[in-house]
Structure 1
Amino acid sequence: MKAPFRYYDFQKDISGCGVFGVINTKRELIPGDMPIKAMCTMHDRGNGLGGGFAAYGIYPDMADKYAFHIMCDTQAGLDKAEEIIKSFFTVHESQPIPTKRTPVIKNPPIVWRYFLTPKQGMDRPQWRSLDEKDFVVNVIMEINSKTPAFVFSSGRNMGAFKGIGFPEDIAEFFRLDEYSAYIWTGHNRFPTNTPGQWHGAHPFTLLDWSVVHNGEISSYGINMRYLCEHDYKCTLMTDTEVVAYELDLLVRKHGLSLQMASKVFAPPFWDEIDRMPEEQKKAYETLRMVYGSALLNGPFAILVSDGTCLMGLNDRIKLRPLVVAEHGNNVYMSSEESSIREVDRVLDNVWAPKAGEPVIVKLED
């Protein structure tokens, strides 16, 4: 295919999307202005069809409750979701998510939040034997697949805020400058294979997990089928959704470390494995055989958090940019060094991680 003389006539730009993340290892709160400013620097990585943020530590007064953020086009749809919620949870607070009238945000959905404690099972005997988090995941899957509403955030002491617009538009709409958090991630979307839609914007979340992604998961089909075998229902037709669900499966349910899960996502090539010492070789062969259907194929740079850490990971041949920087108690990860320097001009260390090698920064106890 020959490129048009005017490059901006391209209908598809697979190098788009921008990601940013920051973690303060001492849990010192970072004002929302910082990630918003960083994402503004990468404005041209998006096209206005998706933007969003995830923030950890924003609900300290409800830290032990599940915070469900729900979006829906109609009140009737929200009522159906609330009926399911009240069947399985004790509702401690129910309120609209604070928003601000923003001229560029057209026809936003209803956005609502609930602070919840599970009742555990109730009228579903088959759910009574589940542990608490499996129970919560099952309820989320039921709402997302059987009602017009969508749970776009469900962790504790955290929240995702996303929609159609540039990140700065979404931040203004959700009044994110009024929040402070010890971990932030942000995303500027340039949709390549799916339409821009509110629930299809990043971050993608499940329980405390949140994922932002630059790239294209070409293994989406086999990843989705693999997840369906483990009772995860992919309803968004967007490739990044599978990353959030796979993290929950591999780390929470199967007990893999984040380091090991990253080797499932971006494993060494077979010829590299063949050259490893015998014990290491057996470990990687086992991962490839057991979790072959969970491998993420295609170009990607992802940022992941579960409220205790921030991880950055590239695909195994580094087809998308990722930069990491440190200053004091703050560690930054971004698609561009410029966005980091925009919010912190004095950095102690800056580097680009190697392909397939995760950078995992944990909160101090």
Structure 2
Amino acid sequence: MDRKRRSRRELYTKEICACSIFGAMNREGDRFTGEGVMKAIASMRVRGNGLGGGFAAYGIYPDHRDLYAFHLMFTGPTDPARRAAKQELEAFLARKFDVYFDEEIPTDDSVFVRDPPLLWRYFVLPRKEGEDAEMTEEEYIVREIMAVNSKIENAYVFSSGKNMGCFKGVAYPEEIGEYFMLDRLYRGHTWTVHGRFPTNTQAWWGGAHPFGLLDTTVVHNGEVSSYGTNRWYLEMYGYACTLQTDTEVIAYAADLLMRRQKLPIEIVAKILAPPIWAAIDRMDEKEKRLMTALRMTYGPLLMNGPFAVIIGETGRMIGLTDRIRLRPLTAATRGEIFYISSEEASIRLISPHLDRVWTPRGGEPVIAEMKGYEKGSEESYEKGSEKSYERIC
């Protein structure tokens, strides 16, 4: 027997703690370019690997503020295939929407990105006729977006809100920002950004973050191990998960709970990242009944696995981690600017002197709202429950 022979044990090399997220909001509504957020996310380059990056920007289309801005990617293997997908998409839009303006999304071709698709934007309003006349605009748009993304080959709507847009692709995030010229062409009052390190899913343009539906966007660091259960639940409500990554379910869950069911974010946080049963047992009777009802009603939407997310909406930005905070998140303020990031260093890089810096608690949202933002149903929850979250108004 050869004594020199030894069995070799493969080391576990999967990277499970990377990805970077960053957000900045001016609560007065003043708009600023993407230059600062590009600099901030670039400082966390080591958390990604160049296989995905993207931005969501709010307030960037003031001249078309009353129209829905659809950002489309056409991803066929050849230019004729992409053009054919675009032609089919435009025939679809002609039947379903009034298109007021469209153009190719401007890009800087001197910036290297991997296999860029054909990128186009359309400013539209829904054309509801017949049985559809009773639907809300938003329900109509969501239904048609799901139809495009699941039925028109090589065509994907990746942004669909008013006066906002997502810009994403396969590269480091600062390279995506340069490719779309976000520091030169756009000014927004709220920006979120993501640097990706894919773990379980492929790197492609549609799978980059942010994920968005209407004006809700999500950037995510972590892994949703409950993806299958979450997806099956959302499909019962008409959502089609077509972008081949787990984060997509977070965006659709946020749309279902906050827009369709009009739940306040404080309740949504308890659905996505609920307290463990042992903690619920120690609550007072009123809170125990609420948490038990949420666990029983929305069990399939519990997001298993470690995560930190930034949810963007028009007029609001929300940070949330899993209940035991397995992914980092830091919040800060400087005057009317609110920041949230994977790392404090990236905030201080663009704003060295901060008024306040803190770490949000696991499972508890930190909420920044623009002045004049309408809270809606949040007030009823605040009046009836102990305030266990942070709201920056």
Give your verdict on TM over 0.5: yes
Counterpart-to-counterpart distance in 2, 1:106 and 1:246: 30
Match 1:208 to one of 198, 206, 215? 215
**Deviation readout 1:153-186 (Å, 9 max, x if unpaired):** 0000000000000001111111111211100000
Q: What aligned pairs does 1:1-365 form with structure 2 within 5 A after superposition?
A: 4=11, 11-73=13-75, 74-121=82-129, 125=131, 127-147=132-152, 148-178=154-184, 179-365=186-372
Query: Does the CA-based 8 Å contact 1:299-1:319 persist in structure 2?
Result: yes
How much has 1:197 moved relative to structure 2?
0.4
Counterpart Cα distance in 2 of 1:238 and 1:168: 22
Change (3 A) 1:349 1:222: same
1:78 partner amino acid: K
Letter paired with 1:114: Y
Residues 1:160 and 1:2: Cα distance change in structure 2 (over 3 Å): farther
> Does the Cα contact within 8 Å between 1:121 and 1:135 map onto a contact in 2?
no
SS at match of 2:262: coil
Letter in 1 for 2:266: Q
- How far apart in 1 are the matches of 2:13 and 2:99? 46
Mean CA deviation greater in 79-88 or 239-248: 79-88
Q: Letter of the aligned partner of 1:144 in structure 2? A: N
What residue in structure 1 maps to residue 380 of structure 2? Answer: none
Please give the alpha-carbon distance, in whole angstroms, between the structure 2 residues aligned to 1:92 and 1:192: 40
SS in 2 for 1:199: helix
Unpaired runs of 5+ in structure 2? 1-7, 76-81, 373-393
RMSD: 1.3
Over residues 170-221 of structure 1, what are the superposed CA-to-partner deviations in whole Å (9 max), with x where a residue is unaligned?
A: 1111111121110000000000000100010000000000000000011100
Secondary structure of 1:113's match? strand
**Mapped partners of 1:157, 1:115: distance in 2:** 10
Q: Following the alignment from structure 1 to structure 2, what is the Cα–Cα distance between the partners of residues 284 and 102? A: 53
Measure the CA separation in 2 of the matches of 1:113 and 1:221: 31
Q: Percent identity?
A: 48
Is the CA contact 1:102–1:172 (under 8 Å) kept in the aligned structure 2?
A: no
**Contact map agreement 2:126 2:141 (CA 8 A) in 1:** yes
Deviations 1:266-325 (A, max 9, x none): 111111111111111111111111111111110000000111210000100100000001
- Name which one, 1 or 2, has greater alpha-carbon Rg: 2
Runs of at least 4 residues of structure 1 off by over 6 A?
none
Counterpart contact for 1:102–1:169, Cα < 8 Å: no
2:207 aligned counterpart, secondary structure = coil
CA drift of 1:2 comes to 6.8
Task: Tell me which amino acid in the other structure corresponds to 1:162.
Answer: K
Secondary structure at the counterpart of residue 205 of structure 2: coil
Distance 2:92 2:13 in 1: 41
2-side partners of 1:285 and 1:32: how far apart? 43
Structure 1 unpaired stretches of 5+: 5-9
Instruction: Count the aligned residue pairs.
Output: 357
User: Could you tell me whether the CA contact under 8 Å between 2:52 and 2:169 is conserved in 1?
Assistant: yes
